[in-house]
Amino acid sequence: MTLPEACYNVAVRTRLERSYRFESAHFLPKVPPGHKCARMHGHSYLVEIIIEGEVDPDRGWVMDFAEIDEHVTPLVKRLDHQVLNEIDGLANPTSELLAVWLWDRIAGGLSPLVEVVVSETPTSRCSYRGPTR
């Protein structure tokens, strides 16, 4: 597969997004006394992994979605149906810290990673774009 002729002389940069779901329980040990999130509760998490890069002119893609899966699926399996507080590095599993935890484990092997989005509910999410440079 090759790029359309109009793309031959220009770099074509695209953004890929791959979504993963898992179910987990957690509690937030550092919230103020009486806060509802101090109690054990669960979420149906949605994690979106976003990469950006130049389209390979021969293959017509930035990368195979299966390559993203190789890096992310083992982590999702590790989180699914677990108490997040019991996982190393997630003693205080806020959405923000879960996004950083995922980033730290994905970025080294998936270098075009630009963003990790963690949604606890359909209306509550956190986006992390890596360490401040």
What domains are defined for the chain? 5-128 (3.30.479.10)
23 vs 8 pLDDT, higher one? 23
Measured between alpha carbons, how far is 38 from 44 in angstroms, rounded to an integer? 18
- The label of the residue with tokens 């879960």 reads 98
In b/e form, how buried is each residue of 54-89, taking b as 16+ CB within 10 angstroms? ebeeeeeebbeeeebeebbeebbeebeebebbebee
Res. 5: pLDDT tops 70: no
pLDDT of residue 114: 97
pLDDT of residue 6: 57
Q: Does residue 48 carry a catalytic annotation?
A: no
Res. 1: pLDDT tops 60: no
With beta carbons less than 8 A apart as the criterion, state whether 127 and 119 touch: no
* Active-site residue (options: 7, 41, 70, 81): 81
Q: Does residue 120 carry a catalytic annotation?
A: yes
Quote the radius of gyration of the chain (alpha carbons, Å). Answer: 18
Per-residue model confidence as pLDDT tens digits over 35-76: 999 999 999 999 999 999 999 999 999 999 999 999 999 999
Q: Which pTM does this prediction carry?
A: 0.90
Res. 10: pLDDT tops 80: no
* Active-site residue (options: 37, 48, 52, 71): 37
